[in-house]
A and B are shown apart, each in its own frame.
Chain A
């Protein structure tokens, strides 16, 4: 019976060949069809806005007037002359570099710790992942309370242990540290909250990289008598470079383009000391209504990020372990 069925032509088994039937059976047709939604998605949500931003930046568009007149590079020149833009650019670089260094170092430590077996490991993993899964605005509002000028529980704890608010206290006699009111502390706060936010993703990426290192290599190194630091710096980190590059690339792009933490915590203050390019583009383009200059500010991110992405992807490819 089986043989009889096998001998029958395919069309007889599956029914007459229809247009759709032909389409789904053809690899040549199906592959582009399947990938088309992803390409359309990227074109619609990344490509089109990107081209629109270039178009806006070369025009005199405002939020109240989209009948665009070409003005050449006038917006870019105006933006470069603006001292707030220059400060925002500097802040963006500091914000990104410091937070990414912190993220990578802490993620490596956490990943190494999570590689070991210990009781309650699942709980530790869950808690570490929590900041990534929680909505960013919600987490940041939580931090806003933690860093509040009056109610900060951090300040309360410091006061309880006598480090703050008492005569001769190391951190000063004022009742609060005013985390978001003093430029250096405000920048520190923004960086720390961003590090808290980005740490889980980097940890998971590095953990995946660590588990991929062949055990026999680590065993061989141990037999050869290499200690922890030597194993770490001469074996593990070099082997992890491709994956570290990916983690860093994600982190840098995310940090460069993110404005939520700055917007919720400080609105770029005090006196623009935490203003970053993404938030300044928003304030200038939407709050102040100058869409063209807002677009020009946002586009300054592009060449920087493109260079960084190319550099990191090249580094990852060059150091790839095959």
Chain B
């Protein structure tokens, strides 16, 4: 008896310890062994990975419920996982390496570097075009590789990237309708900074908005990273002139905050009343409507600014592109069926994103029945809805002008893809991902080198990147 007590008092013995740990491991591992069996017995499933939308109601009020309902109607168990936009690429890389994970993955920029690990989407694009009309060209150029003839992604939508300006500030310097040319930013934006103490916010750092702004400037100066045949043409007099312009613009109207620009800086600067002009989608303005209505009411929009020869372009702000990894080929039909259903319901994507999303297929018919928004008289296609909503913004605040978005109605005429005038490609993606172009601007602006030197350095980096991807057979051109 005493011996037993002694044993008890000693605490856990070696045998007890091993037994407990062993039991724990078995208990922990059991579900993993049992559940796959169960999963096999269940109905079809579709796992979707996508980035958490910048407009929260898109996911919370619409997309997740839509996906679930579609699953219910089609006997598919749909699982939607949202991740922060910054995690999409690393998650995709991990899943491709593991050859397992989600059946559909949504990217926010062209997934060109994934071409060899994803299914060809040509069939679904053709089917969608048959049912909903031609896909917007900038969407095609963001998901199709002309060199290999493969649709590596399925682009269902895109985001407009206009100029947002504070009307009251620009009115005070005699330009109430905002800037029209890049030079206006120096002339009037410079005066706003000098006289009213409010700077411009055009990023020159290693992030997406800076990448887009720098490209918009290059294109408006009739130059670009590549030509339409994917030859590198960056190093030319027009690029040098664009960089020289940026140098003058920084001196006249900006502060060093543009070198620390982050994707949140547009929203922060605009809402804080510390930016007279930014290049951003409507999301910064929508945030302002919720957080600082008095500032938001003063925010108006302009199309991209004209360069010295009157050219104007801006980059899409986001390209929505779904991929189906090779490992998910067994589930491809279900995934493609879901994508077509998404297109059929794109009026919801537009409305629930508060007009952040624009469709890749403008001729899609509007479904009948209650769609959760006020019916637009005579509207039959998404184009009609788009026009009506951009003429009269359904999300304008009480007492706020409702026609602010009108200037964005024909945005597809002046919006283009990241590789303009050529297609997106892994090389264009790497030049973008390593921020070669905004760094070229910043190098010259900060005085680390003359504009000519900065352009020459950027060309060396760009050519090395193109050469590498060309060797893999994924990029066209020879230079």
A131 at interface, CB cutoff 8 A = no
B342 at interface, CB cutoff 8 A = no
Contact partners of A81 in chain B: CB under 8 A: 464
Interface size counted on chain A using CB atoms at 8 A? 46
Contact partners of A272 in chain B: CB under 8 A: 206, 439
A44 at interface, CB cutoff 8 A = no
Q: When chains A and B are docked, how far (Å) is the Cα of A149 from the Cα of B446?
A: 17
A270-B472 contact in complex given A66-B117, A150-B257, A176-B255, C-beta closer than 8 Å: no
A149 touches B260 (CB 8 A): yes
Contact partners of B93 in chain A: CB under 8 A: 63, 286, 291
Contact partners of B448 in chain A: CB under 8 A: 271
Which of A20, A270, A289 has a CB less than 8 Å from the CB of B446? A270
Contact partners of A9 in chain B: CB under 8 A: none
Contact partners of B461 in chain A: CB under 8 A: 82-84
A286 touches B89 (CB 8 A): yes
How many A-B contacts at CB < 8 Å in the complex?
133
**Which positions in B face A, CB cutoff 8 Å?**
2-3, 14-15, 18, 89-90, 92-93, 96-97, 111, 113-118, 204-207, 255-260, 262, 265, 268-269, 272, 274, 426, 429-430, 433-435, 439, 442-443, 446, 448, 457, 461, 464, 468, 471-472
Residue of A nearest to B467 (CB): A78
Contacts of A62-111 to chain B: CB distance below 8 A:
62-67, 78, 81-84
Main secondary structure of the interface of B (DSSP, over half): helix
The smallest beta-carbon distance between B51 and chain A, in angstroms, is 14
Q: When chains A and B are docked, how far (Å) is the Cα of A290 from the Cα of B474?
A: 13
A-B contact pairs, 20 of them (CB 8 A): A5-B3, A24-B14, A60-B472, A63-B92, A63-B117, A64-B114, A64-B118, A78-B464, A81-B464, A84-B434, A149-B256, A149-B265, A151-B272, A178-B259, A183-B446, A269-B435, A271-B448, A283-B433, A288-B429, A289-B114
Residue of A nearest to B93 (CB): A63
Q: When chains A and B are docked, how far (Å) is the Cα of A151 from the Cα of B433?
A: 28
A241 at interface, CB cutoff 8 A = no
The smallest beta-carbon distance between B393 and chain A, in angstroms, is 28
Q: When chains A and B are docked, how far (Å) is the Cα of A86 from the Cα of B449?
A: 18
B268 touches A150 (CB 8 A): yes
Q: When chains A and B are docked, how far (Å) is the Cα of A82 from the Cα of B18?
A: 54
Q: When chains A and B are docked, how far (Å) is the Cα of A62 from the Cα of B430?
A: 11
Contact partners of A83 in chain B: CB under 8 A: 457, 461
Which of B18, B257, B430 has a CB less than 8 Å from the CB of A288? B430
Q: When chains A and B are docked, how far (Å) is the Cα of A269 from the Cα of B263?
A: 14
Q: When chains A and B are docked, how far (Å) is the Cα of A105 from the Cα of B157?
A: 55
